Amino acid sequence: MATAPKPRIKLDKKEAKKGDIVEVKALVSHIMETGQRKDAQGKTIPRKILNKFACTVAGKQVFAANFEPAVSANPYIQFKFKATESGPVVLTWTDDDGSTIVGEDKITVT
Amino acid sequence: MLQFTRRQALGTGAAAIATATLGLTVSSAHAANDSGDLINKFTGGKKPTEGKVKLDLPEIAENGNTVPMTVSVESPMTEASHVTDVLIVGDGNPNGGMATFHFSPASGVAEANTRIRLATSQNIIAVARMNDGSFYTVSKQVKVTIGGCGG
C-alpha cells in the first residue's frame, strides 16, 4: 500500500464545556498482517501491523495504545477524553516499518 | 463461422467451498501461550485482584476475525487516583498479547473499544494498573465459531 490511507475520525461533539467527556471514534484502513499466515508457496507473509496509537489534544497526550497482531484488520479504536482546552485533536498510528498515519480533527471548549 | 471463446477455466473455483468444515472445537484445550508470562511481566509478579475492570465481549463470536471488545475500569480518573495502563491478553491465540491501552487523568474515563482477532474459543483477560501500583483483573470466555487466523 503505497498511498497513505486517510483515517476516519469522529468526535461525538465539536464543542464541549470544560470538563465534558468527549468520545472519539476512529477507523483506519490497514492490512494488519499478523506474520502467522503463509502464502501459496508456503512462505510466511511478513508481519506488518500498526503497533502504536496515540491521541493528543492541544498538544497533550490523552490516550495511547499498543497493538499486537491480535487486533483486527482496519483497526477501529474508540476512547474518551476530558475536554479542558480548545485545540487540534491529533491521532497518530505508527506502522512496523516506522511510517505513520496521521489524522486530525478539532475540539472547541467553551 | 463465429468462434466461441474458450470457457474451460471454471474448474478450479469449486474446491474452496469444501473447506468450511465447521470445526466447533469448544473444548478447553488451551494451548499454553505466553499470556501468563505477559501478565506477570505487566504486574511485576504481583497477583491482581478481581474486580473494578469490566470486559464487554460477545459470548459467542461468529467471526473470529473481528470481535468487538470494550474494556472499562471503575476509577475517578483524578490526579490522585487513576488508571495508567490496561493490558489485554487472550490464552488461545498464537501470541497472547492483544493490546495495551494507556490512560491518564486527561482521559476522563478509563474506557476503550477496539476489534480483535480470536483464533479459537478462549478466555480474554484484562489487567488494569492503577497509579498507586495496585492491579485489578477480569476475564471472560468467548466462543468462536470461525477462527480469525486462517487463510
Residue-wise pLDDT tens digits, B88-120: 999 999 899 999 999 999 999 999 999 999 999
In the chain, the amino acid numbered B97 is: G
Residue of higher predicted confidence among B60 and B1: B60
Average pLDDT over residues A37-47: 89
Residue of higher predicted confidence among B88 and B23: B88
Answer yes or no: are the C-beta atoms of B57 and B67 closer than 8 Å: yes
Residue B54 grid coordinates: 469490566
Is the pLDDT at B43 greater than 90? The verdict is yes
Out of A71-85, B19-33, B119-133, least confident range? B19-33
Average pLDDT over residues B112-133: 94
Q: In what order do the strands lie in the sheet with B110-116?
A: A8-11, A21-27, A76-82, B110-116, B67-73, B53-56
Residues of A with Cβ-Cβ distance to B73 under 8 angstroms = none
Residue-wise pLDDT tens digits, A52-64: 999 999 999 999 9
> Are A34 and B117 an interchain contact pair (Cβ–Cβ within 8 Å)?
yes
Cα of B62 vs its chain's centroid, Å? 14
d(CA B72, CA B111): 4
- For residue B109, the 8-state DSSP code is S
The pLDDT score that the predictor gives to residue B17 is: 33
Query: Helices (H) and strands (E) in chain A — how many of each?
Result: 0, 8
d(CA B115, CA B107): 20
The pLDDT score that the predictor gives to residue B83 is: 96
Q: What is the ipTM of this complex?
A: 0.90
Residues of A with Cβ-Cβ distance to B98 under 8 angstroms = 68, 70-71
Is the pLDDT at A45 greater than 80? The verdict is yes
Is the pLDDT at B32 greater than 90? The verdict is no
Give the distance from residue B49's alpha carbon to the nearest chain A alpha carbon, in angstroms. 23
The pLDDT score that the predictor gives to residue A6 is: 85
**How would CATH label the architecture of A8-39+47-109?**
Sandwich (2.60)
Answer yes or no: are the C-beta atoms of A35 and A71 closer than 8 Å: no
Task: Give the Cβ contact number of residue A102 at 10 Å.
Answer: 12
SS3 call for A91: strand
Q: Taking the model in full, what pTM does it have?
A: 0.82
CA angle A73, A78, A79 (to 5 degrees): 145
Domains, chain B, ordered by start:
50-151 (2.60.40.2470)
Confidence tier at B77 by pLDDT (50, 70, 90)? very high
The position carrying cell 491482581 is B48
Q: Which among A34, A60, A84 is the nearest to B149, CB-wise? A: A34
Going from N- to C-terminal start, the domains of chain A cover 8-39+47-109
Confidence tier at A8 by pLDDT (50, 70, 90)? very high
Average pLDDT over residues A27-35: 91
Q: Which among B97, B108, B151 is the nearest to A68, CB-wise? A: B97
Residue of higher predicted confidence among B2 and A47: A47
Which stretches does DSSP call E strand in chain B? 49-50, 53-56, 60-63, 67-73, 83-90, 97-103, 110-116, 122-130, 135-146
The pLDDT score that the predictor gives to residue A108 is: 95
> Are B101 and A34 an interchain contact pair (Cβ–Cβ within 8 Å)?
no
The pLDDT score that the predictor gives to residue A39 is: 87
Answer yes or no: are the C-beta atoms of B126 and B55 closer than 8 Å: yes
Confidence tier at B6 by pLDDT (50, 70, 90)? low
Out of A12-26, A86-100, B3-17, least confident range? B3-17
Residue of A nearest to B108 (CA): A82
Mutate to test the interface with B, among A29, A56, A71 (most CBs of B within 10 A): A71
Give the distance from residue A109's alpha carbon to the nearest chain B alpha carbon, in angstroms. 14
Q: How does the average pLDDT of chain B come out, rounded?
A: 81
Give the strand pairing for B60-63 and B135-146: parallel
